[in-house]
Amino acid sequence: MAKTGILIETENNGVKETSLGVMAAAAGTEIHALVMDGDAAAARETLAAHGAAVVVDMAAGKTVQSPDQAAAALAAAAKEYGLTAILGTASAIGKDIFARAAALMGQPLASDILGLDLEQRTVKKSHFSGKTLATLRLDADIFLCTVRPNLFEPAQAQAEGALAAFDPGVADAGGVKVLEVKKGDADTLDLTEAPVVVTGGRAVNAAENFAMLDACAAKLGAAVGASRAAVDAGFANHAMQVGQTGKTVSPRLYIACGVSGAVQHFAGMKTSKVIVAINEDKDAPIFAKCDYGIVGDIFEVVPRLTEKL
């Protein structure tokens, strides 16, 4: 049986949902849950319930000093347990550690994958900003993948979950030192990188009415954008413009409020994962190109939506 290592991420001493999802992606293999920070013993039960045959406690009293150390630890674990694949979450940190590990090990890596076939050693992932889906074959005895968060549902699959302590024996911190970790200010979300975008169109009707969208966005952890029509009318500034002549965004959720859906607007947001449109005009072109539509007055719909979130 193939042996898969999963790099487990924890928070508040619990296993992250996203890591459990990654375990689900490796179902059918002998899963080694690699716990590098956090309390492996405390997590053992949850990990066993989600299919971990072995829970590897790599912290062993020490904390990892640098990303290169983490990568070296992963490489050491792979060797120790004879892993044929190592999976992790495609978070910023996860992608960083895996890329370091793959380079260190000289083994192939697929980042931010959308599908996985461990037997065929193939993965599916986005190419060209989501416009195409690529199938890659990773031609090696061992390979590494980071999986897009939330893509796989955590699944119950009771396994032994034998706790094993492993000291990767990484001493050298490498050329990269972590000096400090800064917590971000969630308010300064960048439009192009925001996971959720709420956009207002001409129907917003006045600059001050954008406050209504700001309120909704705050609830969603979203950035606020504007259509060209709203910018031209002076309701919003150019930096907020989404579309052909503005910014291109690709959030997982895009909510267009009172945007008619000029073609140039689509050019700037059509790679969004889910598009929701709220518009009074049932013939508005936006409804032909979005996923969910609500016909209604944005001044009625948006505040109530904000309430509900």
Partner 1 sequence: MTKELPSHAKVVIVGGGVIGCATAYHLTKLGVKDVVVLERKELTCGTTWAAAGLVVQLRGTPEMVRMTRHGYELYQEIEKETTQPTGFVKTGVINFATTQHRAHELEMLESLAISFGIDNHPIGMDELKARWPLINTQDIINAYYMPNDGVVNPVDTAMSMAVGARKNGALILEDTEVLDFEMKSDRVTAVVTDKGTIKCECMVLAAGMWSRELGRKLGISVPLHACQHMHFVTLPMEGAKKGMPILRDQDGCLYFREEVGGLLIGAFEYGAIPYGTKEIPSDWSFRELPEDMDHLEPLMEAAIHRIPDLAEAEIRRITTTAESFTPDNMYIMGEAPGKKKLYTACGMNSSGILCGAGVGKKTAEWIVEGYPKSGHIWEADNRRCYSWMMNINYLRDRAPETPGNLYGIHFPFKQFETARNVRMSPFHDRLKDRGACFGQMFGYERANWFAPEGVEPKYEYSFHRQNWFDYSGEEHMAIRENVGIYDLSSMSNFIFQGKDALAVLQKICGADVDAPVGKVVYTQMLNERGGIEADITVTRLDADKFFIVTAGANALRDFDYIERAIPEDAHAFLNDMSSSYAMLGVMGPNARKLLEKCTDADLSNAGFPYGTAREIAVGYATPLAVRMSYAGELGWELYVPTEFAAGMFDALMEAGKDLGVRLVGLHAVDSLRLERGFRHWPSDIDPEHTPLEAGLGFAVNFDKDDFLGKEALLVQKQQGLKRKLVIFTVDDPEPLIYHDEPIYRNGELVSENTHGAYGHFVGGSIGMCYLKNGDGITNDWIMDGKYEIGVNGKMYPITIHLSAPHDPRGERAKQ
Partner 2 sequence: MKIFVCVKHVPDTAATIKVAGEAGYEEGGVKFVSNPYDEFGIEEAVKTVEKNGGEVVILTVGKAGAAATMRGAMAMGAHRGILVKTDTQFLDPALTAQALKAAMDQDGLGDMVFTGKGSVDSESFQTQYCLAAALGVPVANEVSALSLGEGKAVAEQETGGGDKQVLELSLPCVIGATKGLNEPRYPKFPDIMKAKKKELREIDIADLGIDLSQGRICLETLEIVPERSGAKMLEGDTDAQIAELVRILREDEKVI
- The residues pairing with 282 across neighbouring beta strands, listed in sequence order, are none
Q: What is the C-alpha separation between 278 and 271, in angstroms, rounded?
A: 18
Do you know the residue count of the chain? 309
By CB under 8 A, residue 205 contacts partner 1:
no
CA nearest to 15, candidates 168, 148, 40: 40
Question: In a 3-state reduction of DSSP, which class is residue 274?
Answer: strand
Stretch that binds partner 1, among 57-65, 115-123, 132-140, 257-265 (CB under 8 A): 257-265
Residues 123/92/69/33 CA torsion (nearest 10 deg):
-50
Which one of 163-171, 223-231, 233-241, 275-283 is the stretch in contact with partner 2 (CB under 8 A)?
Answer: 275-283
> Per CB under 8 A, does 238 bind partner 1?
yes
Please, what is the minimum distance in Å from the beta carbon of residue 13 to partner 2?
19
What does 135 interact with, of partner 1, partner 2, none (CB < 5 to 8 A by kind)? partner 2
**Residue 195 near residue 253 (C-beta atoms within 8 A):** yes
- Establish if 274 lies at the interface with partner 1 (CB under 8 A): no
CA distances from 157 to 54, 106, 243 (A): 13, 32, 45
Q: Which of partner 1, partner 2, none lies near 220, with the C-beta cut-off 5 to 8 A by kind? A: partner 2
Site string for partner 2, 179-218 (x = CB under 8 A): xxxxxxxx-xxx-xx--x----------------------
Question: Cα(249)–Cα(301) distance, rounded to whole angstroms?
Answer: 24
Q: In the complex with partner 2, which residue's Cβ is closer, 167 or 289?
A: 289
Q: Is 239 in the site for partner 2 (CB under 8 A)?
A: no
Q: Is the CB of 31 or the CB of 256 nearer to partner 1? A: 256
- Closer to partner 2 by CB, 166 or 287: give it: 287
Q: How many Cα atoms occupy the beta-carbon half-sphere of 84 within 13 Å?
A: 15
In the shown chain, the binding pattern of residues 72 to 111 toward partner 1, with x for contact by CB under 8 A and - for none, equals ----------------------------------------
Looking at the DSSP assignment, which residues form a beta bridge with residue 143? Answer: 85
In the structure encoding, which two tokens stand for residue 295, read together?
């016909």
